[in-house]
Amino acid sequence: MSNRPATWLTSGRIPALDGLRALAIFFVIISHARRTHGFPEIGPFTRVLAPFGTLGVDIFFVLSGFLITTLLCREIERSNRVHLGAFYVRRIFRLAPAFACFLAAVAALQLNNFVDISSRDWFAAVTYTMNFHSKPAWELGHLWSLSIEEHFYLLWPPVFAFVAYKSGARILLATLFVQPVIRWGVLLFRPELSPMTDLWTFTRFDTIAAGSLLAILSRDEAACAKLDRISRYWAFALISLIGGLALGTVSGKFAVGVTPSITAVTIAILVWTAARRAPKLLEHPWIAAIGVGSYSLYLWQQLFLNPNQTYWWTTFPQNLALPIIAAWISFRFIEKPFLKLKQQLQQKKAPHNRTHETPDAPLVGIVNMQK
């Protein structure tokens, strides 16, 4: 692997990022599908799939921290400041339309008595506080991860705009050390609340912080060279990741106090390895298309991969095909028009600034895979 700086550090799409997103959403879907009506029981293999859902979300978190901080770094290097207003407008255009469409679909299902959503569920969903709701309805429960990401968008860009690189890296390092301390504190003093440490923002930020720190380190030539050297041991990082997840399934204390930290660091190493080496498989058009549509897939899969219902649409195997169709419709008719509008607004202000936020690949590859 060359030690030359990556071309995507300053502009353009980040290699393999969409492929990693596709891997993440696959982990989430297979973890949820294993519990649904009609899914084949394959002995202990089915149980092995249990931690994959959390792993998929962790990959999303690291990628989010890495991508958003990379975009912020590019903006500082280009204009010596972070335009917070423009940042939040871009986030709204990217996330809000599909999110509103999904909530409207859930509301329609509730009006027809197919789902039972409480007022507390709705409040948590629309205020992005689902990660503080201990017993959410299944159809909206997965919004806990989107809540954490929204909190990250609210907190990190203003902080980074104020402190910039050096202090920003220190804050992120402190986050990586403080988060496990808080989790251990909950384990020792309020053990009944320990399951919530997987959801709370102030006990879950280290995974996003690992991705953000990776983005800042990549701006420094010496640090970039060290990351390249570390990434040579990607196999050891992968084994450590698998080992941490495995130990977490047999020890609750390890799962809360140790596994998240191992996961954060090892996934960050693997993300850097993938981005620098850019494996061809992760850039395959079909896989990249799934990654592009991963946000919609994540939103819609929960309605179909419901372990508590035995409707036709929640039964295996059609419950795997239907969220893909719903995600394609959402992307094609909701996300894509707003992404084009967002791109037009960006081009008016900075015609030559293209970022990974605007996907070029269509989602048609996802549908083709079902044929």
SS (H, E, C) the chain: CCCCCCHHHCCCCCCCHHHHHHHHHHHHHHHHHCCCECCCCCCHHHHHCCCHHHHHHHHHHHHHHHHHHHHHHHHHHHHCCCCHHHHHHHHHHHHHHHHHHHHHHHHHHHHCCCCCCCHHHHHHHHCCCHHHCCCCCHHHHCHHHHHHHHHHHHHHHHHHHHHHHHHHHHHHHHHHHHHHHHHHHHHHHCHHHHHHHHCCHHHCHHHHHHHHHHHHHCCCHHHHHHHHHHHCCHHHHHHHHHHHHHHHHHCHHHHHHCHHHHHHHHHHHHHHHHHHHCCHHHHCHHHHHHHHCHHHHHHHHHHHCCCCCCCHHHECCHHHHHHHHHHHHHHHHHHHHHHHHHHHHHHHHCCCCCCCCCCCCCCHHHHHCCC
Q: What is the pLDDT of residue 280?
A: 81
Angle, alpha carbons 120-124-129 (nearest 5°): 140
Instruction: Report d(CA 169, CA 173) in Å as an integer.
Output: 6
Q: What is the pLDDT of residue 352?
A: 46
Question: Is 1 within a domain?
Answer: no
Instruction: Report d(CA 55, CA 43) in Å as an integer.
Output: 21
Q: What is the widest separation between alpha-carbon atoms in the chain? A: 60
Q: What is the pLDDT of residue 361?
A: 36
Residue type, 77: E
Question: Is 194 within a domain?
Answer: yes
Say what angle helices 17-33 and 52-79 make with each other, to 10 degrees: 150
Tally the domains of the chain.
Answer: 1
How do residues 143-191 score in pLDDT, each as one tens digit?
Answer: 999 999 999 999 999 999 999 888 999 999 999 999 999 999 999 999 9
Question: Is 32 within a domain?
Answer: yes
CB atoms within 10 A of CB 349: 9
Instruction: Report d(CA 152, CA 68) in Å as an integer.
Output: 10
Question: Which range marks the domain in which residue 20 is found?
Answer: 7-368
Give me the count of residues in the chain. Answer: 371
Instruction: Report d(CA 45, CA 22) in Å as an integer.
Output: 22
270 CA to centre of own chain: 15
Instruction: Report d(CA 89, CA 96) in Å as an integer.
Output: 10
Q: What is the pLDDT of residue 249?
A: 85
Instruction: Report d(CA 240, CA 263) in Å as an integer.
Output: 8
Question: Is 57 within a domain?
Answer: yes
Question: Is 123 within a domain?
Answer: yes
CB 44 within 8 A of CB 312: no
Question: Is 58 within a domain?
Answer: yes
Angle, alpha carbons 355-356-361 (nearest 5°): 120
Question: Is 2 within a domain?
Answer: no
Instruction: Report d(CA 39, CA 353) in Å as an integer.
Output: 46
How do residues 80-90 score in pLDDT, each as one tens digit?
Answer: 899 999 999 99
Full pLDDT tens readout for the chain, 371 residues: 555 556 777 777 787 899 999 999 999 999 999 999 999 887 666 677 777 889 999 999 999 999 999 999 999 998 889 999 999 999 999 999 999 999 999 999 999 999 999 999 999 999 999 999 999 999 999 999 999 999 999 999 999 999 988 899 999 999 999 999 999 999 999 999 999 999 999 999 999 999 999 999 999 989 999 999 999 999 999 999 999 998 888 888 999 999 999 999 999 999 999 988 877 888 888 999 999 999 999 999 999 999 999 999 999 999 999 999 999 999 999 998 988 887 777 676 654 444 444 343 333 333 332 32
